[in-house]
C-alpha cells in the first residue's frame, strides 16, 4: 500500500465528550446538524449475517472514498460514485412527514437486506446526517476478505481541510468495523510554551465491535512526518496471584 503524505495536524485543542483509551476524541461527529437535502438515513448500522460493515466516525465528516479498486464516495461531490451501489430504502411509516407536518424522509427507514452477490459487490447505506450541513455519512457492506480501505476525515467544519487515511486489513470475521479518528492526548506535558504550542497528532483506531484491533497515528518530528504509522497495541496482562509454597520439614 502506498503511503500518502498529509499536511501536519494544525488544530490545537478540540473539546471532547468521549475518551478512548486515554485519548481525546474530536467533537465533529457528535455535533450533527440537520442535512436538509439528505434523502433518507438508516439511523444505525443494520448487520446482515455473514457480511462486514465498515463505517467511520470521530470528525465533523468522514467518507469511505475507496475500497480495493472500487471508488465509493466522490471526494469532490461527497456523493456516491455509482448510484447502483446504494441499497434500496423506503420509509417504514409510509407518511414521510415529521411531527410538524412537513415532509421529512429521515427515519425510520427500512433497507434492502438482500445478501451481497459475491466478494466484489459493495453496497453503501446512508447512515446519518453529517456534522457538515447538507452532507451525509454512509457505511459500506462487503463480504469478508482482505481489503484496502481509503477514508477522508474532516476534523474541522471545512471541506478544504482533509486528512486522508488508508489501510489494508483482513476483514476475516463478519460484523461491524469502525474507523474512529481522535486527537491523541499527550501523556507528558511539562507546561512549557513549546509543549503547549506543539500539535497533538491525529490517530485512527480500528474497532471490531467494541474492541480496538489496530491503531494508527500521524508521526510528527520524524522522517515519517505527516504519515499515518501503525503503533503497537499494548495489552494489559492480569496480575498473577502469589502462591505460597510451604517449605518441606
For residue range 50-68, what is the model confidence (pLDDT) as tens digits?
A: 999 999 999 999 999 999 9
pLDDT category at 124 given cuts 50, 70, 90 is very high
Residue 4: predicted pLDDT: 39
Dihedral sign for Cα atoms in the order 185, 177, 137, 9: positive
Of 20-29, 124-133, 134-143, 227-236, least confident by mean pLDDT is 20-29
Q: Which three cell numbers stand for residue 113?
A: 437486506
For residue range 193-218, what is the model confidence (pLDDT) as tens digits?
A: 434 444 578 999 999 999 999 999 98
Residue 75: predicted pLDDT: 94
> φ and ψ at 85, to 5 degrees?
-75, -25
DSSP character string of 6-50: -----------S-EETTEEEPSTTTSPPP-TT-----SS----TT
Amino acid at each position: 500500500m502506498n503511503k500518502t503524505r498529509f499536511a501536519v495536524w494544525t488544530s490545537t485543542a478540540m473539546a471532547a465528550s468521549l475518551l478512548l483509551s486515554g485519548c481525546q476524541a474530536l467533537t465533529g461527529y457528535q455535533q450533527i446538524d440537520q442535512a436538509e437535502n439528505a434523502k433518507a438515513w438508516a439511523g444505525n448500522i443494520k448487520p446482515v449475517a455473514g457480511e462486514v460493515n465498515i463505517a467511520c466516525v470521530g470528525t465533523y465528516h468522514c467518507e469511505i472514498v475507496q475500497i480495493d479498486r472500487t471508488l465509493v464516495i466522490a471526494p469532490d461531490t461527497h456523493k456516491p460514485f455509482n448510484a447502483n451501489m446504494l441499497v434500496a430504502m423506503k420509509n417504514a411509516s409510509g407518511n414521510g412527514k415529521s411531527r410538524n407536518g412537513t415532509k421529512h424522509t429521515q427515519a425510520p427507514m427500512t433497507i434492502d437486506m438482500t445478501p451481497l452477490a459475491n466478494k466484489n459487490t459493495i453496497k453503501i447505506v446512508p447512515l446519518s446526517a453529517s456534522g457538515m450541513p447538507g452532507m451525509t455519512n454512509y457505511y459500506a457492506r462487503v463480504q469478508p476478505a482482505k481489503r484496502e480501505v481509503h477514508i477522508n476525515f474532516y476534523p474541522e467544519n471545512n471541506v478544504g481541510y482533509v486528512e486522508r487515511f488508508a489501510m489494508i486489513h483482513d476483514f476475516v470475521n463478519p460484523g461491524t468495523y469502525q474507523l474512529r479518528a481522535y486527537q491523541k492526548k499527550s501523556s507528558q506535558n511539562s507546561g512549557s510554551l513549546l509543549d503547549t504550542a506543539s500539535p497533538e497528532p491525529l490517530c485512527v483506531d480500528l474497532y471490531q465491535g467494541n474492541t480496538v484491533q489496530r491503531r494508527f497515528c500521524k508521526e510528527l518530528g520524524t522522517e515519517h512526518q505527516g504519515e499515518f504509522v501503525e503503533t503497537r497495541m499494548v495489552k494489559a496482562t492480569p496480575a498473577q496471584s502469589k502462591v505460597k509454597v510451604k517449605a518441606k520439614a
